[in-house]
């Protein structure tokens, strides 16, 4: 009988230091997508101890820190799977935190978290995690958190797939494309006109014979002819070259309940001989490419114009 009592006392002495030094208040594990976990142990030390040993869930830890209830660091030294904490003042509790990858393992798409604890442990998973298997019945389930009972535990889970968001802004892209096309066409036209003018002037300068008499009368006549031709061209391009029957056309168009833009487009085509490029009409009216395209389609559906392709450009022919 004495031997049994001695054995029980010896066992109590061996197992009691941790309890004599204090007790765990809580242990929590936060799981990350990378396989790392963050462990937080809240330990309440005994008031009669100066140095205490607090067990860790594993010996391979990173960024180990110990702080008191006010967040002030407390000196410590890790010794394998325990941490020796040196108390220099009265401390209500110790906040021990560390990171580790030793508690998780992966096979295929399934991760497994394994740990052993003397008290219940609350495990928090990333949003969207699917629990595949549990070694024991949870004490509590709340949102993404599971509280497991004391002892050896394992939780198998799969992580959510990353979500890639794709936003398509059709109208914005169309507007940007139209603006870019208009700027490119304008720049190209300006450069072509400048190059042609420079080339023409160079050829004229190089091919002109050396004057033997005063060139002013001849040059004056040439200038007058050129100015007259340019004036006629600009007058015709401005839409005033063909106004015959325009009043009658306007009366017809008013009876068709057309928009102002549609009437201006039809009058422009009439003034230019009954047919014109879509691009010229659109530029003259200052319309975006998409808006003009829809307008011409409406006019074609009503039988007012005919749209046909000439080369690489769309032309519009008046059918009134």
Going from N- to C-terminal start, the domains of the chain cover 17-158, 236-320
**pLDDT of the residue at 36:** 96
Residue 38 has a pLDDT of 97
The pLDDT of residue 3:
53
Nearest to 45 by CA among 54, 55, 37: 54
Confidence check: pLDDT of 305 > 80? yes
| pLDDT for 254 | 83
**pLDDT at 192 (0 to 100):** 43
pLDDT at 189 over 50: no
Query: Which residue from 305, 310, 314 is spatially nearest to 270, judged by alpha carbons?
Result: 305
pLDDT on residue 14: 41
pLDDT reported for residue 310: 87
The whole-number average pLDDT for the span 274-293 is 92
Portion of the chain with pLDDT greater than 90, in percent = 48
pLDDT at 21: 81
Instruction: Give pLDDT, residue 163.
Output: 64
Asked whether 47 and 20 are in contact (CB, 8 A), the reply is no
* pLDDT in the model for residue 215: 55
Q: How far apart are CA 281 and CA 291, in angstroms?
A: 12
State the CB neighbour count (10 A cutoff) for residue 319. 14
Angle between helices 260-271 and 246-254 (to 10 degrees): 150
CATH (residue range 236-320): 1.10.10.10
Q: Rounded CA gap, 316 and 202, in Å? A: 38
Pinpoint the alpha helices (H) of the chain: 2-21, 170-207, 216-235, 246-254, 260-271, 278-285, 289-301
CA distances in angstroms from 277 to 167, 175, 226, 269, 293, listed in the order given: 35, 21, 26, 9, 12
Using a 10 angstrom Cβ sphere, with 0-12 exposed, 13-18 middle and 19 or more buried, the burial of residue 115 is: buried
Is residue 169's pLDDT more than 50? no
pLDDT at 140: 94
Name which of 127-136, 234-243, 307-316 the model is least confident about: 234-243
Top-tier CATH class for 17-158: mainly beta
Quick one: pLDDT band at residue 280, thresholds 50, 70, 90?
very high
pLDDT tens for each residue of 6-16: 444 444 444 44
Average pLDDT over residues 136-145: 94
Give the pLDDT of residue 224.
Answer: 66
Against a cut of 0.75, is the pTM above it? no
| Run of H or E including 149 | none
The four Cα atoms 188, 192, 198, 199 give a dihedral, to 10 degrees, of 140
pLDDT value for 17: 46
Cα separation, 302 vs 307, whole angstroms: 12
User: Residues 237-265: pLDDT tens digits?
Assistant: 444 445 557 888 888 888 888 999 998 99
Per-residue pLDDT tens digits for 79-119 = 999 999 988 778 888 999 999 999 999 999 999 999 999 99
Percent of the chain with pLDDT over 70: 68
Contact 87, 65 (CB under 8 A): no
């Amino acid at each position: 009988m004495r031997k049994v009592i001695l054995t029980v006392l010896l066992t109590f002495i061996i197992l009691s230091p941790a309890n004599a030094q204090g007790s765990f208040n809580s242990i929590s594990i936060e799981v990350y997508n990378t396989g790392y976990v963050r462990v937080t142990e809240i330990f309440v030390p005994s008031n009669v101890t100066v140095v205490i040993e607090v067990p860790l869930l594993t010996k391979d830890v990173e960024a180990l820190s110990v702080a008191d209830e006010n967040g002030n660091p407390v000196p410590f030294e890790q010794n394998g799977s325990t941490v020796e904490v040196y108390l220099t003042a009265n401390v209500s509790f110790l906040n021990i935190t560390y990171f580790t990858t030793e508690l998780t393992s992966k096979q295929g798409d399934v991760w497994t978290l394994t740990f052993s604890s003397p008290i219940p442990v609350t495990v928090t998973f990333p949003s969207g995690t699917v629990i595949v298997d549990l070694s024991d019945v949870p004490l509590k389930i709340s949102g993404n958190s599971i509280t497991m009972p004391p002892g050896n535990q394992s939780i198998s889970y799969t992580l959510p797939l990353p979500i890639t968001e794709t936003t398509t802004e059709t109208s914005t892209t169309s507007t940007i494309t139209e603006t870019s096309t208009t700027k490119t066409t304008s720049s190209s036209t300006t450069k072509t006109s400048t190059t042609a003018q420079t080339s023409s002037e160079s050829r004229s300068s190089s091919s002109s014979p050396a004057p033997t008499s005063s060139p002013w009368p001849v040059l004056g006549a040439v200038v007058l002819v050129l100015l007259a031709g340019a004036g006629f061209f600009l007058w015709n391009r401005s839409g005033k070259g063909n106004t015959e029957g325009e009043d009658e056309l306007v009366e017809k168009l008013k009876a068709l309940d057309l928009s102002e833009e549609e009437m201006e487009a039809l009058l422009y085509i009439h003034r230019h001989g009954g047919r014109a490029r879509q691009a010229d009409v659109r530029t003259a009216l200052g319309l975006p490419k998409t808006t003009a395209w829809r307008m011409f389609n409406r006019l074609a559906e009503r039988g007012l114009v005919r749209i046909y392709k000439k080369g690489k450009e769309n032309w519009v022919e008046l059918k009134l």
